[in-house]
Structure 1
Amino acid sequence: MRIRKGEQEEDDLQLIDGAIDCELTTPSRPSTNRINGDCGAVDITLARVPGAVEATIDVIISKVQSGFSLSLSSFVFAGGSHQGIELFCGIIGESCGLTRRYVIAVQMGSWMHLKFNVGQKGSEYDDLERYCGFKADIHGCDCQQIIHEHASISLKVTWSIVR
């Protein structure tokens, strides 16, 4: 895993390299492990999700009127409880057609909720809190859009079978 730093691959920083020694069975409850590298660390959370489908989440931020703070989290049912996964936390500065893609395993037939917190640039996300729900399916896609004074946020979740 590398941290992109420049145009050329040789400019990038090596974050972690190699393999991790782990058990052949994955726990039902989520467990987080930290992998330390030369330029930082990566936290990896693992859980066994029986009957899982793959949710590919595309987030497109457009029509940015002014800079704002954005926090995006996903909540899925795993290991007997709803688990939160922080997908993005940062400042959106200008209209650039920002696109982010995330992939999450979701138990078939359960709901995945995406939570957005939007605030003025530098604030503590107090302007808007919004949830969008998507029911896990074998295939297909679902779309939702959030229109806010700061920007338009489009969501597309594409479902597919985990192989």
Structure 2
Amino acid sequence: MESGGGGGGDPQEGPSATPPRSRTASCDNGSPIDEKTRRTESGAAASSTAPPRSRVVYGPDGFPADGVTRAVLLHDCKHSDGSIYTVDYWSKVYRLGDTRETCVEPMMMTDTWTSCSPDWRACERHDSCTMMQIFSLKLPYTSVSLCGPVQLYGYMAVRDLLNPFRNYVFNRSRDDPFTVEQEDGFIQMSGPKRGIRMEGYVLLEYDMKIKMGGEERDDLQLIDGVAYFNNLTIMNASEHKQRIDGDCGAVDITLSLLRCAVEATVQVGISDLEHGSGLSLRLTASYISSRFVLREGIRLADGVVDPEACELNKYVVAVPWKVKLGLKLQVSQIGGSDHSVIDKFFLCSPHKHGHQNLAFKLGLATVKVKVTWSTLDIPRSLLGPDCYMYDFEAARDLGLLNV
């Protein structure tokens, strides 16, 4: 089993084909928020674990009576009152005052490299690393009586030290909310944009609201704040459901820490679709291994495909080394003569570089699936500033540690 590397390849190495400029991570686009326009506090007050909310009932054993573990939150760290922009250790190291999206792209190590040894298919030069995989987001309850579906908007973003700017896992505007059915509470994720490295702490920033009417002032704050996760306290390759309680409800996040993992980017293309009809598509990822206790699939896509669209969004998944990635594709026609549901299931073995192409002629359409492999062991020559291996390295670079 390989050790989890990542982040620091030799700056002198080069790919067998020079990477395009668009693959270089540059954070010059966009600008950070002006903290002077926010309510801020001076000084270096240390953040701490948030105390249990009064609405959470605890049993005699000290655990929540509902049996759901609560996520560990940063104390007094919210967008609504500006406390998230307080200048302290966490805000400096993880750039909480900066609203830009991560400038590290997916698939940055897909191309073969001259340093691959003995070759790119069996590369021992570029390391896998410890990664976080988020399986699902769900709305378990709301604290107000709402009949029918709930409309959610706002965002939830991961901040890791590969690049601490926002890596969105949910991002919806008020004009385009996601409708949550109360039967299952499922919230469709829109990310992450690229793999989440977990060689240290990972922060989860969120500001999600419930749309109630025509005016934004009538909306309800669902959750607001920052949670953090430690790679030393989460068991490898097992599902962890943690609840984030908020003012008007809660969000359950199910995640896992995966050691020795690589990044898989799944893309789906549709062609030869019958004119005037649409296609309903669901794509689910899972892990196939007798050693892993990972039962919940990752619902990558679920909805109606635009007939004019030639390609769907990219879906990024962390895959442990030597564990197969299972992809289940379910398609059915909308508005045409064929109402049957077609299922396809296929397995992909992880690689550090390269890609795999699959094509399925289903009668009602042709579906093409491309799986692109990459490690997060990205040479610093391809990374911009604000990229680190561990939190103490970032703190030292910012002058927060005298070491």
SS of 2:330's equivalent? strand
Give the TM-score of the pair, scaled to structure 1: 0.76
Structure 1: 5+ residue runs without aligned partners? 7-13
> Where do 1:148-163 residues align within 5 Å?
148-163=362-377
Residue 241 of structure 2 corresponds to 32
Residue 279 of structure 2 corresponds to 68
Measure the CA separation in 2 of the matches of 1:41 and 1:60.
35
Measure the CA separation in 1 of the matches of 2:252 and 2:308.
31
CA contact (8 A) 1:117 1:126 kept: no
Query: Whose helix fraction is larger, Structure 1's or Structure 2's?
Result: 2
Structure showing greater radius of gyration is 2
Residue 57 of structure 1 corresponds to 266
Residue 57 of structure 2 corresponds to none
Cα deviation 1:35-67 (Å, max 9, x = unaligned): 467899765332121211111111222332221
> Aligned-pair distance for 1:3?
0.5
1:133 paired with 2:347, answer yes
Residue 106 of structure 1 corresponds to 319
CA contact (8 A) 1:34 1:41 kept: yes
Measure the CA separation in 2 of the matches of 1:64 and 1:41.
40
Measure the CA separation in 2 of the matches of 1:128 and 1:159.
27
Measure the CA separation in 2 of the matches of 1:40 and 1:59.
34
CA contact (8 A) 2:241 2:252 kept: yes
Cα deviation 1:74-107 (Å, max 9, x = unaligned): 0114772354111111122423213221111111
Residue 9 of structure 2 corresponds to none
- Taking only the aligned residue pairs, the percentage that are identical comes to 32
> Aligned-pair distance for 1:149?
2.4
Give the TM-score of the pair, scaled to structure 2: 0.34
**RMSD over aligned Cα atoms:** 3.0
CA contact (8 A) 1:71 1:90 kept: yes
CA 1:156–1:43 in structure 2 vs 1: closer, same or farther (change >3 Å)?
A: farther
Measure the CA separation in 2 of the matches of 1:134 and 1:3.
31
CA 1:61–1:47 in structure 2 vs 1: closer, same or farther (change >3 Å)?
A: same
1:97 paired with 2:310, answer yes
CA 1:118–1:38 in structure 2 vs 1: closer, same or farther (change >3 Å)?
A: farther
CA 1:19–1:154 in structure 2 vs 1: closer, same or farther (change >3 Å)?
A: same
Query: Whose strand fraction is larger, Structure 1's or Structure 2's?
Result: 1
1:3 paired with 2:214, answer no
Deviates more, 1:72-81 or 1:133-142: 72-81
SS of 2:227's equivalent? coil
1:19 to 226, 232, 239: 226
CA contact (8 A) 1:109 1:136 kept: yes
CA 1:147–1:41 in structure 2 vs 1: closer, same or farther (change >3 Å)?
A: farther
Measure the CA separation in 2 of the matches of 1:155 and 1:39.
40
- Give the letter aligned to residue 226 of structure 2: A
CA contact (8 A) 2:288 2:326 kept: no
SS of 2:226's equivalent? coil
- Give the letter aligned to residue 3 of structure 1: R
CA contact (8 A) 1:60 1:153 kept: yes
Matched pairs, number: 155
Residue 117 of structure 1 corresponds to 330
SS of 2:363's equivalent? coil
> Aligned-pair distance for 1:129?
0.6
CA 1:99–1:5 in structure 2 vs 1: closer, same or farther (change >3 Å)?
A: farther
Cα deviation 1:120-149 (Å, max 9, x = unaligned): 339xx8421101211011211111112222
Residue 80 of structure 1 corresponds to 292
